[in-house]
Structure 1
Amino acid sequence: MFTFIIKRLLLLIPVFLAVSLIIFMIVHLVPGDPLEHLMQVGSSPEQQAALSAKYGLAKPILVQYLIWLQNTLSGNFGDAIILRRPVADLIAQNMPYSLALGGLALAFSTLVGIGAGALAAIFKNSWLDRSVMLIILLGSTVPSFWLGLLMILLFAVQLGWFPVSGARSASALVLPALTIGLGGVALVARVTRAAMIDISRKDFVLMLHAKGVSRANIQLRHVLRHALLPVLTILSLRIGWILGGAVTVEFVFARPGLGSLLITSLNQRDYPVVQGCLLMLAIAVMLGTLLGDVLQAALDPRVRERAT
Structure 2
Amino acid sequence: MIGYAVRRLLMLVPVFLAVSVVIFLILHLIPGDPIDNLIRIGSSPAQREIIAQRYGLDRSLPEQYFIWLGNVLRGDLGTAIVGQRPVSTMILQALPYSLALGGAALLFSASLGILLGVIAAWKRDGWADQLIMGGVLLGSTMPTFWLGLLMILLFSVHLGWFPVSGARNWQSLVLPVLTIGLAGTALVARVTRVAMIEAQQRDFVMLLHAKGLPRWRIHLGHVLRHALTAVVTILALRIGWILGGAVTVEVVFARPGLGTLLIKALNQHDYPVVQASLLMLAMAVMLGTLLGDLIQAALDPRVRTAMS
TM-score grouping bracket, smaller chain normalisation: over 0.9
Query: What residue is the counterpart of 1:307 in the other structure?
Result: 307
1:11-160 matched pairs, under 5 angstroms: 11-160=11-160
Q: How many Å apart are 1:30 and its aligned residue? A: 1.1
Question: How many angstroms apart in 2 are the aligned matches of 1:243 and 1:262?
Answer: 13
Code of the residue aligned with 2:270 in structure 1: it is D
Cα displacement string for residues 76-116 of structure 1 (whole angstroms, at most 9, x for unaligned residues): 11111111111111000000000000000000000000000
Q: How many Å apart are 1:266 and its aligned residue? A: 0.8
**Is the aligned partner of 1:193 residue 2:193?**
yes
Q: How many Å apart are 1:41 and its aligned residue? A: 1.2
Q: How many Å apart are 1:230 and its aligned residue? A: 1.0
TM-score (norm 2): 0.99
* Paired residue secondary structure (1:167): coil
Question: How many angstroms apart in 1 are the aligned matches of 2:208 and 2:274?
Answer: 56
Query: What residue is the counterpart of 1:163 in the other structure?
Result: 163
* Paired residue secondary structure (1:39): coil
Q: How many Å apart are 1:29 and its aligned residue? A: 1.1
Cα displacement string for residues 40-60 of structure 1 (whole angstroms, at most 9, x for unaligned residues): 111111110010111111111
Question: How many angstroms apart in 1 are the aligned matches of 2:12 and 2:260?
Answer: 28
* Paired residue secondary structure (1:40): coil
Tell me the number of residue pairs that the alignment of Structure 1 and Structure 2 aligns: 308
Question: How many angstroms apart in 2 are the aligned matches of 1:167 and 1:207?
Answer: 53
Cα displacement string for residues 139-173 of structure 1 (whole angstroms, at most 9, x for unaligned residues): 00110000000000111111111111000111100
Query: Structure 1: 5+ residue runs without aligned partners?
Result: none
Query: Identity across aligned pairs (percent)?
Result: 63
Code of the residue aligned with 1:153 in structure 2: it is L
Indicate the RMSD between aligned Cα atoms, in angstroms.
0.6
Code of the residue aligned with 2:127 in structure 1: it is W
* Paired residue secondary structure (1:138): helix
TM-score (norm 1): 0.99
Question: How many angstroms apart in 2 are the aligned matches of 1:223 and 1:29?
Answer: 52
Question: How many angstroms apart in 1 are the aligned matches of 2:170 and 2:35?
Answer: 38
Question: How many angstroms apart in 1 are the aligned matches of 2:56 and 2:206?
Answer: 68
Q: How many Å apart are 1:304 and its aligned residue? A: 1.1
Moved over 3 A (4+): none
Question: How many angstroms apart in 2 are the aligned matches of 1:12 and 1:296?
Answer: 17
Query: What residue is the counterpart of 2:235 in the other structure?
Result: 235
